Structures are given as C-alpha cells and as structure tokens.
C-alpha cells in the first residue's frame, strides 16, 4: 500500500469519526397534541418537541424526532422503534419503558360548555367525559367511579364533541385544551370555568433497550436544563401565548 493511499484512508477515518452525520442519534417520539407536539406551516414544533430536542443536544446526540399519536408513540417505545418520549405516566408506558425523571408541570382540568357549572367531581359524576385515548389524566375519573369516558383521538376532537353537545365535559391539560381551542378559533366564552383537578409532572421515559451510557447522558442533560432554567423558560414561552 502506498503512503498516499495510507494517508487517504487515515483522513477518511478521521472525517467519519468527527462528522455530525455519523454522530449518535437519539430516536424521539413526541405525542401529537398541541402545544406539546404539532406541525405549524409544514414545520414540526411544540413544547415537548423542543424540550426533547434540547435534551438530545445537551446529551451530545443528533435528534430524530417524530410527531405521532399517543398510542403509536407508546408502541414505538415498547417495540424499540424509538428511544425516548416525554409524557404523563400511565400504566401502559410504565410496563415497557424506564422512567428517568419528571420534567414538566401539567395542570389537569375538567372543562365544560359555558352553561356548565362544575365545582367538584360530584357535579361531573354520571356525565360523559371526553378523554384522549390511552391517556391517564386522573385516576379518579374512571368508569368504576361513575364517569362515562368517551375516548377521542386528540384535544381538537374532544373540543368539537363538547361544543356539539355530544359529550358533557373534557378532561386534559389546561394548556393543551386552551391552546387547541385557540388554534381552532373557539372563543373562551364558549367554555365554562375549568374545574382544576391537580398539577402533575410529565416525565421522560426511555426504551428498556437503551444502554446505561445513553441513559446517564440523558439524565445529566435533564438535570442541566432543569437547573439552568431552560425547561421553565420554554414552558413560559408557550403559556404566555394564551395570556
């Protein structure tokens, strides 16, 4: 082998080692629910979408982030077609993924039409409540406790069902429901005062197939964006759009 060929092969090896195209890629799935994950003017965006990309960057990964429905997102994590997701805890994700830690405050509410008066869960019991399929917002809202649950694809469908009087109320994140209402040009006056149920935390989950090294890098990145205020600032940026 000539020296020239040797130097050429060595140079190629170095280039491949440092090229971003060959960097580790973190496969992310973001749940398709505004403002957490949605497409705006042909561009994927959203609070969860941006937060997960930020975590990947801080951890030294390239990000491959897909926006998909909740059921598909959990299936991709379970079947190792994705590495990471940011979502509320539910029984299904807990059986197929590793919980790395809480990241995002989520205020859960019951929302009715303008003529509704929901001051406590007693007022909602026996009513038909729209909820995103496979989502678990509050353990008290169940068939066993006297609530009639109507599964929907997303917040937009839930809101349409509510205003069409096909359901009596919706359960979901306050930010998500009001943000989607604004996107659909529904006035605030169309809805009654929300019944605040609780404030919980959305968490980062990773596939059980993820290596310890990747897990540690993601955990360190999460700690960094919590401590430097990046996660909080991004949350405020989205929340401020409703004020």
Segment 169-191, tens digit of pLDDT: 999 999 999 999 999 999 999 99
pTM exceeds 0.85 for this model: yes
Are domains 24-104+201-242 and 107-199 of this chain identical in fold? Answer: yes
CATH of domain 24-104+201-242: 3.40.190.10
Run of H or E residues at 29: strand 25-31
Neighbours of 216 (CB within 10 A): 12
pLDDT classification of 216: cutoffs 50, 70, 90: very high
Q: What was the pLDDT predicted at 82? A: 97
pLDDT classification of 243: cutoffs 50, 70, 90: confident
Give me 54's structure tokens: 């930020």
Which class in CATH covers the domain with range 107-199? alpha beta
Q: Which residues contact 180 (CB under 8 A, 6 or more apart)?
A: 33, 34, 35, 154, 155, 156, 159
Q: What was the pLDDT predicted at 2? A: 52
Q: Residue ranges per domain, the chain?
A: 24-104+201-242, 107-199
């Amino acid at each position: 082998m000539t020296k020239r060929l040797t130097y050429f092969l060595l140079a190629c090896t170095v280039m491949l080692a440092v090229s971003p195209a060959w960097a580790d890629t973190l496969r992310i799935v973001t749940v398709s629910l505004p403002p957490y994950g949605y497409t705006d003017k042909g561009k994927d965006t959203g609070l969860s979408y941006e937060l997960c990309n930020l975590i990947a960057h801080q951890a030294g990964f390239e990000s491959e982030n897909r926006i998909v429905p909740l059921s598909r997102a959990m299936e991709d994590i379970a079947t190792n077609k994705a590495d990471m997701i940011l979502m509320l805890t539910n029984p299904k994700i807990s059986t197929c993924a590793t919980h790395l830690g809480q990241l995002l405050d989520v205020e859960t509410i019951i929302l009715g039409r303008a003529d509704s008066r929901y001051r406590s869960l007693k007022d909602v019991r026996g009513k038909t409540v729209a909820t995103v399929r496979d989502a678990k917002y509050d353990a008290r809202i169940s068939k066993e406790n006297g609530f009639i649950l109507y599964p929907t694809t997303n917040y937009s469908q839930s809101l349409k069902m509510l205003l069409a009087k096909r359901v009596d109320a919706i359960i979901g994140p306050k930010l998500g429901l009001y943000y989607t209402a604004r996107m659909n040009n529904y006035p605030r006056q169309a809805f009654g005062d929300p019944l605040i149920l609780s404030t919980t935390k959305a968490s980062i989950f990773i596939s059980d197939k993820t290596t310890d090294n990747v897990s540690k890098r993601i955990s360190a990145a999460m700690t960094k964006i919590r401590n430097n205020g990046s996660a909080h600032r991004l949350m405020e940026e989205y929340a401020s759009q409703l004020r």
